[in-house]
Amino acid sequence: MSEVTTENAGRTRLITINRPEARNSLTLTVLASLREAFAAASVDPEARVVVLSGAGGHFCAGADLRKNMEDPRLMERTDDYMDEFHSVIKAIVECPKPVIAMMDGAAVGFGADMALACDLRIASTSAYVQEKFVSIGLMPDGGGSFWLPRLVGTARAMQWILLAEKIDAQALAAHGVVTSVVAPESLRDATLALAKRLESGPPMAYAAIKRSVYASWGSYVDALARERAEQLKLLHSQDVMEGVLAWMQKREPNFTGK
């Protein structure tokens, strides 16, 4: 079965990460499929809106550390991995159609950044966002340092990132990050209802609005480049090795700043 599925609901294209057994965590194969799905939706005139979601009760738990660590050349290829992850963020932002994140369960790490990169977000009562990178000695690397300060303010963004706080759906709604919060069983219908409101709108105007709004924030591409440079340094640190080992052993890490 495909790890990324697509379907049409009216003039809305639904793109779903289909790895429920791994909470829809991301591998290079999944990233390539997501990029291809967004590229197809971007040029299809019949697709007026795009919805990004995850199967089985979770949005996305971020990078699949266990799967990616099976690559024997992982530490030699960290820059290539980073570029693959960033290509998905760029595909979301540069899609000329409105993109809605349909958020159920976990949106953690890079999964959080993908949700934040979407134009609109709708959440179930079980949804939460967590920029968890710091727990293993890393930093947000999918634009989290760009999106969060602009969505919730610098002070709140620093709190959420530095403390790796788990932000539930009600808090996300209170801070205006999601448009609404609904019961999990109502999430798909509520998301498609929101998409329906956009389907008959003017495609050229939507594309122009996206370009103009995001340009007014400054360059997200520059932000990704900064995150890339800093994250690559961190990925080769002893602290990250300790953080990942502690995660695998289910214990608290002992960071030394090396």
Instruction: Give pLDDT tens digits for 62-103.
Output: 998 777 667 667 677 888 888 999 999 999 999 999 999 999
Find out whether 15 and 30 touch, Cβ atoms under 8 Å. no
How large is the average pLDDT for residues 17-27?
96
What integer pLDDT is reported at residue 147 of this predicted model? 96
CB 128 within 8 A of CB 184: no
Q: Write the pLDDT tens digit of every residue in 23-51.
A: 999 999 999 999 999 999 999 999 999 99
- List the Cα angle 213/93/59 in 5-degree steps: 120
**Do residues 4 and 17 touch, judged by C-beta distance below 8 A?**
yes
Mean pLDDT, rounded, for 151-156: 97
| Tokens encoding 16 | 């779903």
- Summarised one tens digit per residue, pLDDT across range 224-255 is 999 999 989 998 899 988 888 888 898 999 99
> Average pLDDT for residues 175-195, to the nearest whole number?
98
Which of 93, 110, 111 shows the shortest CA–CA distance to 102?
A: 111
- Count, in order, helices (H) and strands (E) of the chain: 11, 9
pLDDT of residue 66: 77
Give the Cα separation of 19 and 30 in Å (integer). 9
Band the pLDDT of 133: cuts 50, 70, 90.
Answer: very high
The answer, yes or no, to whether residue 160 has pLDDT greater than 90, is yes
Going along the chain from its start, the domains and CATH numbers come out as 4-199 (3.90.226.10)
